[in-house]
Structures are given as structure tokens and as C-alpha cells.
Amino acid sequence: MIQAKGWAAQDPKTDLAPWDFERREVGPHDVQFDILYCGVCHSDLHQIKNDWFEGIFPMVPGHEIVGRVVKVGDHVTKFKVGDLAGTGCMVDSCQVCENCKEGLEQYCLEGNTQTYNSMERDGSRPTYGGYSNTIVVREEFVLHISDKLDLAATAPLLCAGITTYSPLRHWKVGKGHKLAVLGLGGLGHMGVKFGVAFGAEVTVLSTSPSKEEDAKKLGAHHFLVTKDPEQMKAAQGSFDFILDTVSAEHDMNAYLGLLKTNGVMMCVGVPSKPYAIHPFSLIGGRKSVAGSGIGGIKETQEMLDFCAEHNIVSDIELIDIKDITASYERMEKGDVRYRFVIDMATL
């Protein structure tokens, strides 16, 4: 076994603290890479708090992982020692079902293996995430990372990036479309960048008036304060798409009113409670509410290559691991500009 060190939550009520653990030996198809940076996703906070379901503890969160390869298995062909490498939310899937074969491993019919808070496919041990010094991942789930981009700012692309890129691509959002991004946090700010890059007219819908200047710097064309009834009224029926990235409970009916006829609400945020949607919010204007989960491996690589080509990274605040709890507190208040990334040298 490989000795690893990281930061873990021992239970849902205890703050993260240093924890030593073991990772599996590098198998013939595995890549081991030392972690240099790991992004902090709101999903990390949801999961250590058991917001969605009972988690597996101790839990080492982190699924926006970048680093450098230190060892490869005998059958590995795509990576060599010294390469930059990245891993997002998944480390394995069945690889043979209809969805896996189509490159939609996130929708693996047997369930994908998450990077943490999941069991290895052989059931032998839990998976542990990126708030740690090293990781072993099967080759198919390791991404190539360009050396053209700032490495720390690339880490959030592995989750926040692909989670917003994938639905915008699926619904072919681009020129001629009015796109609203609901919630300007880690996912939201990447949604703005991709929406703009794809040619859409982008509006940020935010509860935080103080984010207006940032939204414009990110490339958004318009900014709407959702707490202002006048602004909400003026925007009724004006968007083709809304990308909902909100992490907490919110009134979907109010936001559905902002969609045009045939408009689509693309939900990626995962609040802890179900939505309460009145049928009238959908019927009046044939509206759709849809969901999207991260993205497959092929599309994640496509997104990373697109970012390298178009010089797109996340806007980050680099933190020491010891500041993780304070960062979670700020994230809970919507005070992230726009992604915390842990400098793993501080582990």
C-alpha cells in the first residue's frame, strides 16, 4: 500500500483535520500523481455535512485535482512520469454499459465511482479525494493538463468547468441565445465564461449586488439583482436558457418566469431539499426543467483543450489547507471570488 496524507472529516459534525491513510498500489492500468492543487467545490461541503445522503467517514474531500505523474503501471500508454495530470469527480465506471461506451461515464448504468465518498469497484475500500498529497487512478479517468495555463487556476475546470461546459454544449447554447447564469459562485463564473466564449448574450442573476463589477469583468453583458422585484419584473420572459448553479433552497417558480416560451432551465446546483415547482410555472410557455451531471471523460478532455486554446481558467483564491474551515464558512455565505484552491504544498 502507498502511505498518503491528507485532511479528513472524521464525522459530519467535526472540522477537517490532518489524517494519514493508505492508497492502493499502482496497478498495471493505474497512474499515480502527486497532487499540487485541489479546488474546493460546494459539493465538498454538502458531502461532509451529509446534506444529500449518509457519507462514508473519515472523508477526504476534493475532486478538482491537478498534479504531476510519479508512477505509471506497466500497461499505461497515455501518461509517463513527469506529465501534468488531472482528475475530476469520477475515478472509475463499469466501462461497458451503453452510457460508458458513449463517453457518458457520469451516467454509468451501474453507477460511477466517485473520487471520494464512494467505494472502489471491488468494494475493498472507500475512495479518498484530493485534499491529499498523492492519488492513484486508473488511466481512463486521468486527464491531460496543458502547461500553457496557470496550474492552480486550471484545477477548478475538473468540476466547475465541465459541469457548466457540458449542459451548454448539450443544449447548443451560443450565438443568438440569451443565457442567464443563476448564482455567481464557482460553477456560475465558469458558466459565464463558457457562455460568452460560445457567443451567447449572458446575464448574471445574483443575490449579491456587490458582484456586478466582477460579472462584467468575467464577460457578462448584463447583471440582475434577483432580490430586486422591479428588476425581476422587467426581465420576465426574456431568456432562452437559465443555468441554475444555486447550492441552497430557492424559489424555482420565480426564476422559471424569466424564461421565454420553450425556455429551458438547466439545473446543475444540488440544494439539500427537493424543488417545489408549480405546474403552471411550466405549462404557461411550454418550459422545461432539465438536469446535468458533470461530464464524461472525453468531453472533459475536450473542455480542457478548449480552455487551453481560448486561455480560459477559473478566477481563484489560493488558500493554505489550514484555512479550509474558514473558506467553507465564506463559501456558505456566497463569499467566494470565485473558487478557493488549496495549495497542496501547505499540507
CB neighbours of residue 114 within 10 Å: 22
Whole-angstrom distance, CA of residue 99 vs CA of residue 102: 5
300 binds Zn ion (CB under 5 A): no
Q: CB-wise, 28 or 52, nearer to ligand NAP?
A: 52
Placement of cell 475532486 in the chain = 63
Tell me, residue by residue from 265 to 304, as one string, x for binding to ligand NAP by CB under 6 A and - for no binding: ---xxx---------------------xxx----------
Query: Judged by CB under 6 A, which of 8, 41, 158, 252 binds ligand NAP?
Result: 41
Nearest position to ligand NAP, beta carbon: 185
What does 133 interact with, of Zn ion, ligand NAP, none (CB < 5 to 8 A by kind)?
none
47 binds Zn ion (CB under 5 A): no
Q: CB-wise, 186 or 257, nearer to ligand NAP?
A: 186
Which of the ranges 18-26, 169-177, 201-209, 278-286 carries the binding residues for ligand NAP, by CB under 6 A?
201-209
Q: Can you read off the three cell numbers belonging to residue 150?
A: 496557470
159 binds Zn ion (CB under 5 A): yes
Asked if residue 132 lies in contact with residue 342, where contact means CB atoms within 8 angstroms, the answer is no
8 binds ligand NAP (CB under 6 A): no
331 binds ligand NAP (CB under 6 A): yes
What does 186 interact with, of ligand NAP, Zn ion, none (CB < 5 to 8 A by kind)?
ligand NAP
Placement of cell 433552497 in the chain = 249
Whole-angstrom distance, CA of residue 43 vs CA of residue 50: 10
- C-alpha dist (Å) from residue 110 to 18, 52, 114, 137, 148: 33, 20, 12, 19, 37
Residues in the chain: 347
46 binds ligand NAP (CB under 6 A): yes
Site residue total, ligand NAP (CB under 6 A): 31
What does 100 interact with, of Zn ion, ligand NAP, none (CB < 5 to 8 A by kind)?
none
Q: CB-wise, 26 or 331, nearer to ligand NAP?
A: 331
Whole-angstrom distance, CA of residue 147 vs CA of residue 56: 35
Shortest reach from residue 187's CB to Zn ion, in Å = 8
By CB under 6 A, what part of segment 174-193 binds ligand NAP? Answer: 183-188
Whole-angstrom distance, CA of residue 237 vs CA of residue 11: 45
Q: CB-wise, 41 or 316, nearer to ligand NAP?
A: 41
Show the 3-state SS of 264-283: EEEECCCCCCCCCCCHHHHH
β-sheet bridge partners, residue 144:
85
Shortest reach from residue 275's CB to ligand NAP, in Å = 12
Read off φ and ψ for residue 7, nearest 5 degrees: -120, 135
Q: CB-wise, 169 or 211, nearer to ligand NAP?
A: 211
Q: CB-wise, 270 or 282, nearer to ligand NAP?
A: 270
What does 207 interact with, of ligand NAP, Zn ion, none (CB < 5 to 8 A by kind)?
ligand NAP
Asked if residue 39 lies in contact with residue 153, where contact means CB atoms within 8 angstroms, the answer is no
Q: Across the chain, where does the E strand assignment appear?
A: 2-8, 17-23, 30-40, 65-72, 84-87, 90-92, 113-114, 134-138, 143-144, 178-182, 201-206, 222-225, 239-244, 259-267, 288-291, 316-319, 339-343
Query: Judged by CB under 5 A, which of 35, 38, 43, 67 binds Zn ion?
Result: 43
CB neighbours of residue 155 within 10 Å: 34
159 binds ligand NAP (CB under 6 A): yes
Query: Judged by CB under 6 A, which of 93, 118, 245, 281 binds ligand NAP?
Result: 245
CB neighbours of residue 84 within 10 Å: 19
Residues near ligand NAP (CB under 6 A) are 41-43, 46, 159-160, 163, 183-188, 206-208, 211, 245-248, 250, 268-270, 292-294, 331, 334, 336
Residues near Zn ion (CB under 5 A) are 41, 43, 159
